[in-house]
Structures are given as structure tokens and as C-alpha cells.
Structure 1
Amino acid sequence: MTTEDSAEKVHYICQTYVAKPIKGSDQVSLQIGKQFQYTTAAQAQERAEREARSEDCAGADAYYVVEDAGSGEVSEPTFLVRVGDVPDMDAL
């Protein structure tokens, strides 16, 4: 086994949400809009803050996950910032 096989890789992600009307109701549901991957936490956080100000975006998350290169397993997300309307933590 090489060092690369046991290395961990961090993925920094900005994920946006859009509000979609629920048929037969006045309520809306949040659905994933776009996902962007970055090399730094700052880049992901800046994009989330910028996207959340957009008219067609209900909200955005910036988070990171850690991938074990050997097994392919990915950690639970660690949130850097949550802006606007975003799903409850339990819904993720």
C-alpha cells in the first residue's frame, strides 16, 4: 500500500437551493439547484454568499467533506456557511 492509497482528500463544495412550488399547496420545497467544487474553503464560502444574493437562488451552503482515497468513503458534511433559505440539518 502506498501513501496515496491511504490519503484523505478534502472537497470544498458550494451547493445552491431553489424554491419549487408544491402542487395543490401554497407551500414550496427546497431543491438542490447547482453544485460547485473548489480547492479552498474561502472560495466555496464566497461563492455561496454570492449565489444566495441571486434572484433565482433561495439559499446556499458552503461545506466540505473528507474522502478516504483508499476506501472511497466520504465523511458527513461540515458546514462553513449557510446563507438564505436552506434545508434543516435533519433533512440532509
Structure 2
Amino acid sequence: MSDAPDNAEKIHYICQTYVETKGARGGPAGLKVDKQFQYTSEADAQNRAERESQREGCAGADAYMIIEDAGSGEVSAPNFIVRLGNVPDDDS
């Protein structure tokens, strides 16, 4: 159990990587999430995204921040810190 007040916000820094997928039955290729890492600082998430984007087989990497409302569990839209390589469109 957490001692945080119900109205507290929690910030999550995420590094998420992508790999390319082959299109089914001749369809277009796409992307899927490969790995996801959580960090306590923006710099750590960005550094990991930069390293991961250089890894063989990695199509791209995002580092972003989301804010979680501890009371409701709702999560904000991602606020991108860095987007490297081939990443999905930002539909926000």
C-alpha cells in the first residue's frame, strides 16, 4: 500500500522500443512494441532510448513521460522527450 494522498500524481518516464513486422499476405509492414523500460528520470529514459535505437534489429525508440493520477488511476497522454528512428505516428 502506498502512503500517497489519493489526489497525488505520479510521473513515469518510459523508454519504449519498436521492431518492424512483416505484412500479412502481402500487406504493408508495420511496427510493434519490442521492449519497455521505466525510469525515475527523464535523462535516464532518453539515454536508454538513444542506446536502444542503435541496437541491431531495433526499428526505433521513444522516450516519453506520462502522469498517473493516483486516485483514479487515469494516465495522461504521452509527452515525448525524444523519438528516434521508425516510430508510430503521434495521434494525439
Please give the TM-score of this superposition, normalised by the length of structure 2.
Answer: 0.90
Task: Give the structure 2 partner of residue 5 of structure 1.
Answer: 6
SS in 1 for 2:80: strand
Task: Give the structure 2 partner of residue 75 of structure 1.
Answer: 76
Q: Deviations over 1:53-88 (max 9, x none)?
A: 001110000001000111111100000000000011
Task: Give the structure 1 partner of residue 44 of structure 2.
Answer: 43
Q: 1:55 to 1:3 in 2, by over 3 A?
A: closer
Q: Is 3-12 or 18-27 further displaced after alignment?
A: 18-27
Task: Give the structure 2 partner of residue 85 of structure 1.
Answer: 86
SS in 2 for 1:24: helix
Please, what is the CA RMSD of the aligned residues? 1.7
Query: How far off its partner does 1:25 sit?
Result: 2.3
- Which consecutive unaligned segments of at least 5 residues does structure 1 have? none
Q: 1:3 to 1:39 in 2, by over 3 A?
A: closer
Query: How far off its partner does 1:27 sit?
Result: 3.6
Please give the TM-score of this superposition, normalised by the length of structure 1.
Answer: 0.90
CA–CA separation in structure 1 for the residues paired with 2:81 and 2:54: 17
Identity across aligned pairs (percent)?
59
- Which consecutive unaligned segments of at least 5 residues does structure 2 have? none
Q: Is 41-50 or 18-27 further displaced after alignment?
A: 18-27
Query: How far off its partner does 1:5 sit?
Result: 1.4
CA–CA separation in structure 2 for the residues paired with 1:47 and 1:79: 14
Task: Give the structure 2 partner of residue 61 of structure 1.
Answer: 62
